[in-house]
Amino acid sequence: MGSLRSKLIIENTIHVQRAIRRITQQQLADAVGVTRATIVALEKGNYNPSLDLAFRLALYFEVDLGELFTVKGERDELHKD
């Protein structure tokens, strides 16, 4: 299974971060330079942003990338020939 070759399941806490800061999807979208539709899709977990966008979001929220995005079901499946 989870062998780094296939797509990972990545969860994010954008919805939470946004709630904390009390900003709207539109405000966040403007801040990081995407459309609201992109924020909606991201919060729904339906896709997989570019690293670039991920960094912009993390920078905006002033959190670490690993705090905003976490790999689900990660275990040491790697390097086990």
Partner DNA sequence: CTGCGATGTACATTATACTTTACATTTTTC
Partner DNA sequence: GAAAAATGTAAAGTATAATGTACATCGCAG
Q: Which of residues 20-59 bind DNA (CB under 7 A)?
A: 24-26, 33-38, 40-44, 46-50, 52-53
Min separation Cβ 26 and DNA, Å = 6
The yes or no reply on residue 10 touching DNA (CB under 7 A) is: no
C-alpha radius of gyration, the chain, whole number: 14
Residue pair 14/57 in contact by the 8 Å Cβ criterion: yes
Query: What phi and psi, each to the nearest 5 degrees, are found at residue 13?
Result: -115, 30
Pairing state of beta strands 69-71 and 10-12?
antiparallel
> Contact letters (x/-) for a second copy, 31-50, by CB under 8 A?
xxx--------------xxx
**In the complex, which residues of this chain contact DNA (CB under 7 A)?**
18, 24-26, 33-38, 40-44, 46-50, 52-53
